Structure 1
Amino acid sequence: MSLERIEHRACFGGWQDVYRHRSTVLDSTMNFAVYLPPQAAQSRLPVLYWLSGLTCNEQNFITKAGAQRYAAEHGVILVAPDTSPRGDDVADAEGYDLGKGAGFYLNATQAPWASHYRMHDYIVDELPALIEAELAASDVRAISGHSMGGHGALSIALRNPGRYRSASAFSPIVAPSQVPWGQKAFTAYLGEDRQAWKAWDTVELIASAREHLPLRVDQGEADEFLREQLRPELLQAACERVGHPLDLRLHAGYDHSYYFIASFIGEHVAWHAQHLR
């Protein structure tokens, strides 16, 4: 798996890079961003994977969140992949919430999506193997994300016990089976069988989780999607039922934007750094 570096910028004593490679899992040429803090010049470092939300690509987090200064402070590599497979031969749909830019971090089983939309396997297996083989990364991992990416971070961590030290999210879709964004995507990617949806739904996964992984969720109370699409109270109730640890923090006045993420990303990086030691 060869890497082509297409961006290389000095940042807080380290390097903010973007790479391009051919993904076998997605049968697609993919970009991903990686921030290598200055400590990476001396040793292999743990990795915090960031999964972005609907309409985003690898650029949104690295240009808007301001996370690099905190990664440099704590000696953590940041990896931000794209949100879906890309290319002229990749299936797409009308609207922003299905198709390109809206991969939902699952493995699609339905045509025409199944041939490319395997973002779960890309994030869990193929991309870390590449990062750990080619860059200054250890196999100690944490995962975080925003909105659709928050769904991805939480569900991926719960589906893969032992693979991540911690998981966090900003404004996540915690119960995609119960909200319009998730129902549209799951119907297209996974079919009509709602039983099959449970394997990709954080609230459902909590009920049978084999590992009580530390979870942190930050949610803005002025988020325009809070009541219809996000519904953090469903995650809170699910965790309380089984005694799963959850640090749910609600913030008055904050919306769904990267202004919210930038306000608290330093606390998330520090929290993950404690678990990555």
Structure 2
Amino acid sequence: MERIEHRACFGGWQDVYRHESAVLGCTMDVAVYLPPQAEKERLPVLYWLSGLTCTEQNFITKAGAQRYAAEHGVVVVAPDTSPRGDGVADADGYDLGKGAGFYVNATQAPWSSHYRMYDYIESELPALVEANFPVTDARAISGHSMGGHGALVVALKNPGRYRSVSAFSPIVAPSQVPWGEKAFTAYLGDDREAWKQYDAVELVKGAQEKLPLLIDQGDADEFLHTQLKPQLLREACEAAGHPLTLRLQPGYDHSYYFIASFIGEHIAHHARALKP
């Protein structure tokens, strides 16, 4: 992994690394925040998955997470949201193609050549992080919007891999909203049964591990009623007896102002779960 950015931040280092991804078949950038404690000990890791149109830069420049990561001694890893490069398929619009990987393994051409973000997040990236940085195998995962969807899906599909999971404004039922229907049709085809493996509402129904879900959602979010529909997850969790804390935050929208307002509480939540 080649370090391409290195900046002092809250006593630690906000770095960005570039590496060749065998899973995605392209070069990827990933942000890694190493708090000051990393100079002396191995630390747990919080993986952050960003939303539509984002790269690894949005979270590290807008969320203010480094302050809390330094306070709690947590490494934060924030990858890009899709494969990149001249040979990678793309589409017009912001909600399909580059910047819109949806954290699935595409099965349909031309997307299947590179768009395997699920495998990248679930296996390749953690293996790289654990081989190259002073970290333990204690993991947590979180994300926003499309990335919130990704965090929930990856955690629910991998019992025992993560100590905790949270999300901001997640797409909880991509099979039932326009963003997800467009992306899943392109990446996975028309068979809606195949979509269920990447749908948190569906996964909760048969989850092998009752990992508590923490979700913050702004009640002034412009996508609340059309794309996010958190009530669908609440209903699924109630039916399955799956622990869910869903907090509807008055006045907040879909932006990073919302994330910055509550990221400290989320990192504290993960830090408690990540303690030995």
Alignment equivalent of 1:21, drawn from 14, 19, 31? 19
Tell me which residue corresponds to 2:201: 203
Alignment equivalent of 1:60, drawn from 55, 58, 68? 58
Tell me which residue corresponds to 1:117: 115
Runs of 4+ in 1 over 4 A off after TM superposition: none
Alignment equivalent of 2:35, drawn from 34, 37, 58? 37
Query: Shift of residue 260 of structure 1?
Result: 0.1
Tell me which residue corresponds to 1:140: 138
- 1:153-164 equivalence runs, <5 A: 153-164=151-162
1:238 aligns with 2:239: no
- The AA in structure 1 aligned to 2:76 is L
Normalising by structure 1, we get a TM-score of 0.99
SS of 1:239's partner is: helix
After superposition, the CA RMSD in angstroms is: 0.4
- The AA in structure 2 aligned to 1:62 is I
Query: Shift of residue 53 of structure 1?
Result: 0.1
Tell me which residue corresponds to 1:226: 224
SS of 2:91's partner is: coil
SS of 1:211's partner is: coil
| Alignment deviations for residues 59-109 of structure 1 (CA, whole Å, 9 cap, x no partner) | 000000000000000000000000000000000001000000000001000
SS of 1:106's partner is: coil
Taking the aligned partners of 2:62 and 2:103, their CA distance within structure 1 comes to 22
Alignment equivalent of 1:100, drawn from 98, 101, 118? 98
Taking the aligned partners of 2:224 and 2:113, their CA distance within structure 1 comes to 33
| Alignment deviations for residues 109-163 of structure 1 (CA, whole Å, 9 cap, x no partner) | 0000001000011011111111000111111100000000000000110011111
User: Where in structure 2 are there 5+ consecutive unaligned residues?
Assistant: none
Q: Percent identity?
A: 78
Tell me which residue corresponds to 1:177: 175
| Alignment deviations for residues 191-246 of structure 1 (CA, whole Å, 9 cap, x no partner) | 00000000000000000000001210000000000000000000000000011000
- The AA in structure 2 aligned to 1:223 is D
- The AA in structure 1 aligned to 2:187 is Y
Length, aligned pairs only:
275
Tell me which residue corresponds to 1:89: 87
Tell me which residue corresponds to 1:168: 166
Normalising by structure 2, we get a TM-score of 0.99
| Alignment deviations for residues 164-184 of structure 1 (CA, whole Å, 9 cap, x no partner) | 011100000000000000000
Taking the aligned partners of 2:40 and 2:105, their CA distance within structure 1 comes to 37
Taking the aligned partners of 2:136 and 2:190, their CA distance within structure 1 comes to 40
